[in-house]
Chains A and B, each alone.
Chain A
Amino acid sequence: MSTSLVLKHTIRFVVLLLLQVLIFNNIRFLGYVNPMLFIWFIISLPTGVNRSATLLLAFLMGTLIDIFSNTPGMYACATVFVAFIRKDLLTLFVPKDMYADYEPSVKVMGLPIFLKYVVCMVVMLHLVLFTLEAFSFQHYWLVLLKTGVNSVITILLVLSTQKFK
């Protein structure tokens, strides 16, 4: 990876972290709206990045958000999980003849494939995250409601970061 690419993703990491802990985790609308745009960092990480490095970056991102929001282990666990399934989702959706190292985006993959990939990543993230937050099946309807509402908002936010033309 070139230096400028490393720099771009480092800046993205920091900006998404700050946006997440200062804005998205503080939305006071309805009491359960909490989109997770920070996952765009994992979604858009170039596929050339080593799988172990992806897991470690996900763990770092998750742990930092956990520290800010007093939820030890919760974001770390969920982010590492989606970082792990990322490779399999990409092999599942992306045609085999695509070149090896690319940054997942609408521009490279086209909207239908990108959308399938993002929906899977985002829904899995929210599901794991809110299940861990509740940590019991007592609140399960609430978990499903939060997963549904927030997944839609997060997917729209991720799409809003994409160039379509």
Chain B
Amino acid sequence: MRYGVYFLFVFLEAISFVFVVNQNSFQRASFLSSSNSISASVYAAANSVVEYFGLSEANRQLSDENNQLKNRVVRLEAELAQVTDTTDRRPLVLADKEYQFIAANVISNSVNKLKNSITLNKGRLDGIEPEMGVVNNQGVVGIVSAVTAHYSTVIPILNSKSRISCKSKRSGDFGVLVWNGIDPDYVQMEEVPRHAVIRVGDTLVTSGFSSIFPEGIPVGYITRCATPENKSYYSIEAKTAAVFRTLSYVKVVKFKYREELREVQKEEEQ
């Protein structure tokens, strides 16, 4: 077999190339992603060591969040007391809990690629499913792409394929959040027409159009905005709300009526 090695070369390259081209569909096949049990347990073991180095920062963030939540409890209790004190004793209608949060640990995370990814230590058995949103106490992190029983893979906003609908908190103008692959601290917002009112310093929040994220979760803070000549869109750059270099604790957003909303949207399309 004189040419056997050439056939082998072409064969191996063809296989890899098919994988590269079909990236999305193979990423769904979770055995080929970092959420498969072997690679995920290697990451989990490595993370159990690395975690200690970030512990003080993680502690500070958690206690900050704890503080905020405590303040909220006090405020809400006060409001509740006011409401129940009124002469009208109708049962209080509580806001529907549309969104639930599942806490998870980041066991692997990259920021130095064009298509970054994150692995979490919670999976299908904890109620996580593909296309759920992921946030932390600072802001939006990304969207779940693949799950196995105990682990899941997330496509963060720092991925050239990520497109998340967002809006300016102040003016309500909509756009699409993307990443140009260069600086992991800054993301870009596209498709904002020139007539929109956008200023440096504005907060970008999720639009709430899809069932992935609740409305109003911070995505970034605008640091630069310009209207290039002969273009009908703004060119906007924003600092990410979540700090990706030191990501350790996140929450997966579970929307209660996801299936229902999806069915309605499907019917609409037909």
User: Could you tell me which A residues sit within 8 Å of B by CB distance?
Assistant: 18, 21-22, 25-34, 51-52, 55-56, 58-59, 62-63, 66-74, 76-77, 80-81, 84, 132-135, 139, 142
Residue from the list B26, B46, B184 in contact with A22, Cβ < 8 A: B46
Interface residues of B in 1-50 (CB under 8 A from A): 4-5, 8-9, 12-13, 15-23, 26-27, 32-34, 36, 39, 42-43, 46
Cα–Cα, bound, A108→B4 (Å): 30
A76 to B37 CA separation, bound complex (whole angstroms): 21
Question: In the assembled complex, which residues on chain A have CB atoms less than 8 Å from the CB atom of B16?
Answer: 59, 62-63, 73-74, 76-77, 80
The answer to the question of B73 belonging to the interface, with a C-beta cut-off of 8 Å to chain A, is: no
Chain B residue numbers with a CB within 8 Å of A63 are 16
- By beta carbon, the residue of chain A nearest B19 is A73
Q: For A66, list chain B residues within 8 Å (CB).
A: 19, 32
- Docked pose: A18 CA to B42 CA in angstroms: 9
Shortest B52–chain A CB gap in Å is 15
Beyond A31-B184, A80-B9, list 13 extra A-B contacts (CB 8 Å): A22-B46, A26-B108, A32-B182, A52-B8, A55-B8, A59-B15, A66-B19, A69-B110, A71-B113, A72-B19, A73-B20, A73-B21, A73-B23
Please measure, in the bound complex, the distance between the C-alpha atom of A84 and the C-alpha atom of B13, giving whole angstroms.
10
Ranked 6 nearest A-B pairs via Cβ: A73-B19, A77-B16, A73-B20, A72-B19, A76-B16, A73-B16
A sample of 10 inter-chain contacts (CB < 8 A) reads: A25-B110, A52-B5, A55-B5, A55-B8, A56-B12, A69-B110, A73-B20, A76-B12, A134-B181, A142-B181
Number of B interface residues, CB 8 Å?
42
B9 near A55 with CB under 8 A, answer: yes
> Which secondary structure dominates chain A's binding surface?
helix
Q: B residues within 8 Å of A by Cβ?
A: 4-5, 8-9, 12-13, 15-23, 26-27, 32-34, 36, 39, 42-43, 46, 108-115, 117, 153, 160, 181-185, 245
Please give the distance in Å from B180's CB to the nearest CB on chain A. 8
In the complex, the chain A residue whose C-beta lies closest to that of B26 is A72
A119 and B43 CA atoms in complex are apart in Å by 31
* A34 and B26 contact, CB distance less than 8 A: no
CA distance A142 to B183 in the complex (A): 11
CB within 8 Å for A52 and B34 given contacts A67-B39, A76-B15, A133-B115: no
A77-B20 CB under 8 A given contacts A28-B245, A31-B111: yes
A70 partner, pick from B5, B33, B42, B183, beta carbons under 8 A = B33
Point out the residue from A21, A28, A76, A80 that lies within 8 Å of B184, measured CB to CB.
Answer: A28
Chain A residues with CB under 8 A of B182: 31-32, 142
Bound-state Cα–Cα, A73 to B17, Å: 6
Which residue from chain A places its CB closest to the CB of B111 in the assembled complex? A28
Q: Are A70 and B27 in contact (CB under 8 A)?
A: yes
Output the nearest chain A residue to B40 by Cβ-Cβ distance.
A68
- Determine which residue in A27, A34, A59, A72 has the highest number of CB atoms from chain B within 10 A of its CB, and name it: A72
Residues of B within 8 A of A72 (CB): 19-20, 22-23, 26-27, 32-33
A70 to B110, CA, bound (A): 10
Tell me which of A30, A70, A76 has the highest count of chain B C-beta atoms within 10 A of its own C-beta: A70
Contacts of B9 in A (CB 8 A): 55, 80, 84
Contacts of B17 in A (CB 8 A): 73, 77
Q: Are B27 and A26 in contact (CB under 8 A)?
A: no
Residues of B with C-beta under 8 A to A139: 114, 160, 181
Task: List chain A residues, Cβ under 8 A from B5.
Answer: 51-52, 55
Q: Which residues of the other chain, B, contact A81 by a CB distance below 8 angstroms?
A: 13
